Amino acid sequence: MTAGLALDVLLAVALPLVGLAAVLRRDLVQSVMLLFSLGVLLAIAWARLGAPDIAMVEAALGAGVTGVLFLSALARVGPDDAAPRAASVRVALAALAAAAVAPVALAVEALPRAFEGLGREVLARVPETGATHPVTSVLLDFRGYDTLLEIAVLLLAVLGAWAARGGAPSPRPPAPGPILTAAVRLLLPLMVVVAGVLLWVGSSAPGGAFQAGTVLGTTLVLATLSGGVALPRVPPWVVRSMLALGFAVFLAVAGATAASGRALLRYPGAHAAGLLLAIEAALTISIAVVVWALFERDPEERRAEGEAGGREGEAA
Amino acid sequence: MTAVLGAFALFCAANVVAALWRVLRGPTAADRLLAPQLFGTTGIAVLLLLAEALGAPSLRDVAVVLALLALVTAAAFALRVAGSSARGEPEP
Amino acid sequence: MTALDWMALPFLAASAFFFLAGTVGLLRFPDLFTRLHALAKADNLGLGLAVVGLAIRSGSAAVAVKLVLTWLLALVASSTSCHLIARGARREGVEPVRGRR
């Protein structure tokens, strides 16, 4: 299939070039848009590599959330050129990046050509887990411990983002206007439903907590962007609880499995599917709020400023 | 037929690369945002084509996700970036 | 090539034409607003015709419905996005090009 090969070549050439351009261009808006383009190209690349789960997350994150985060940051910083770094710093950074990538490249090159990895073993034991989709099995069962730690890292990221942002209020946006409001009112329920579907099918098809969580999170961001359309006003402690929920539930299950004498995160066979779904549901909520929290500041800050009656209320 | 679908997917991907020129050229920030809009739609097309050509129906779900989230970048631009240079510092 | 393939082919060809028109317009038109116009053609007709072609080829009603729904979603998103981009540009003071270039 020469068209497929040509597509792969096109992607292989375009991806690093777009990435380089995103980093090297001075105009920050250009960089953000190039990163967005990189996200779409990457999603296609993942599709070509037979990884629809990652393609989905890349589509949601790279072609959705990161664009919004960067544009919002730009709005605060101003779209002027980035302060040019000294040449020595740029060279040092490039050398650092090369030093980080080189060992990985060498290791990949050193792999035996017929390297199969653990694929066959994993596929053979997927029926033992609570899911039929191998990716979900690996993420939440075989390597569940890694995922548990990843969620903790996400929480830390939010804490760091909130701390770094401080109490700086978001720029007051112009009124969203009837078209955006109508579109958001139409899309929001759809996005919630799609997120729910993605969560539900995650055990047997590409989907699951990360995909559903990022879609749901982008939904929250979209609602906030357009002036809080259809967003209920919740007290800050609710937001914090939802942030912690995924990690808490996962940790509780891990603790229970360890305490009951089994190996850590070895789910009891009969309940495995239900447990996985419960964990994924909690993770979805948390990931969604994580995405939103990276975009908005700590609601505690807003309340402390006495702005509680502000934007959310007037546009709703 | 798979060859036709593959060729079409390749054509769309080439469109994406061509549109990058608009991102680099500008001249306004809004222009640079046009190309990502095209990428979103073309990306959906490529994913749908690949779903058919590779026999991977889950790629259609990826296309749905891409379609759903296509709006949010333009919204961020219109509501945060645009006019902010005119507005100056955010009001407290 | 099956019968379904032959039926789908003209739609895919037409779709490719509109995608090409969209890209050419994006690169060649004189100002932002005309470029937006070109973009909308790719979004609506390009994707729409591709969806029709793929729906025919799939031979499955479920897939066809899913494809059409994806297209409708993309329509809503892209029309709102184009509106937002134009509005943002106006706010930035971008003026349409008037007269002949």
- pLDDT tens-digit map of A193-228: 999 998 888 878 888 888 899 999 988 888 888 776
ipTM: 0.84
C34 touches chain B (CB under 8 A): no
C64 touches chain B (CB under 8 A): no
Q: How far apart are the first and last CA of chain A?
A: 53
State the nearest Cα–Cα gap between B59 and chain C, in angstroms: 11
For residues C68 and A218, what is the distance between their CA atoms, to the nearest angstrom? 23
* Band of residue A68 on the pLDDT scale cut at 50, 70, 90: confident
- Is the peptide bond prior to A173 cis by the omega test (within 30 degrees of 0)? no
pLDDT of residue A79: 55
For residues B35 and C27, what is the distance between their CA atoms, to the nearest angstrom? 10
Exposed (0-12), middle (13-18) or buried (19+): which is C28, by Cβ within 10 Å? exposed
Which parts of chain B have pLDDT scores under 70?
1, 81-92
pLDDT of residue B77: 78
Does C84 score more than 70 pLDDT? yes
* Band of residue A42 on the pLDDT scale cut at 50, 70, 90: very high
Instruction: Please give the model's pTM, rounded to 2 decimal places.
Output: 0.84
List of residues 6+ apart from C37 with CB closer than 8 A = C25, C29
* Pure H helices in A131-176: 134-137, 144-165
List of residues 6+ apart from A219 with CB closer than 8 A = A188, A191, A192, A195, A288
Residues A46, A55 contacting (CB under 8 angstroms): yes
Residue of B nearest to A195 (CA): B65
List of residues 6+ apart from A315 with CB closer than 8 A = A175, A176, A226, A227, A228, A229
> What per-residue string of b and e applies to B77-91 under the rule 16 or more CB within 10 Å gives b?
bbbbbbbbeeeeeee
Window from A230-244, A260-274, A296-310, C17-31 with minimum mean pLDDT: A296-310
Percent of chain A with pLDDT over 70: 85
Residues of A in contact with C80 (CB under 8 A): 179-180, 183
List of residues 6+ apart from B45 with CB closer than 8 A = B12, C15, C19, C46, C47, C50
List of residues 6+ apart from A225 with CB closer than 8 A = A68, A173, B72, B75, B76, B79, B80
Enter the tokens of residue C42: 């790719």
Kindly determine whether residue C80 and residue A179, on different chains, have CB atoms separated by under 8 Å: yes
Nearest Cα neighbor of A53 from C10, B65, C33 is B65
A225 touches chain B (CB under 8 A): yes
Q: Which of B72, B84, B85 to mutate to test the interface with A (most CBs of A within 10 A)?
A: B72
pLDDT of residue C1: 66
For residues B5 and B15, what is the distance between their CA atoms, to the nearest angstrom? 15
Q: How many CB pairs below 8 A link A and C?
A: 16
pLDDT digits (tens, 9 = 90+) for A110-132: 887 776 777 777 888 877 777 78
Window from A29-43, A157-171, A244-258, A299-313 with minimum mean pLDDT: A299-313
pLDDT of residue A152: 92
Could you say which residues from 8 to 67 on chain B have a Cβ atom under 8 Å away from some Cβ of chain C?
Answer: 8, 11-12, 15, 18-19, 21-22, 28-31, 33-35, 37-38, 40-42, 44-45, 48-49, 52, 57, 60, 63-64, 67
pLDDT of residue C49: 92
Kindly determine whether residue A60 and residue B69, on different chains, have CB atoms separated by under 8 Å: yes
Residues A245, A281 contacting (CB under 8 angstroms): no
Axis crossing angle, helix B58-76 with helix A177-201, rounded to the nearest 10: 150
Q: Measured between CB atoms, which of B32, B42, B65 is closest to A56?
A: B65
State the nearest Cα–Cα gap between A253 and chain B, in angstroms: 30
Q: Which of A17, A27, A56 to mutate to test the interface with B (most CBs of B within 10 A)?
A: A56
Domain ranges across chain A: 132-316
Kindly determine whether residue B48 and residue C50, on different chains, have CB atoms separated by under 8 Å: yes
Kindly determine whether residue B71 and residue C77, on different chains, have CB atoms separated by under 8 Å: yes
Residue corresponding to tokens 């199969």: A116
Residues C68, C49 contacting (CB under 8 angstroms): no
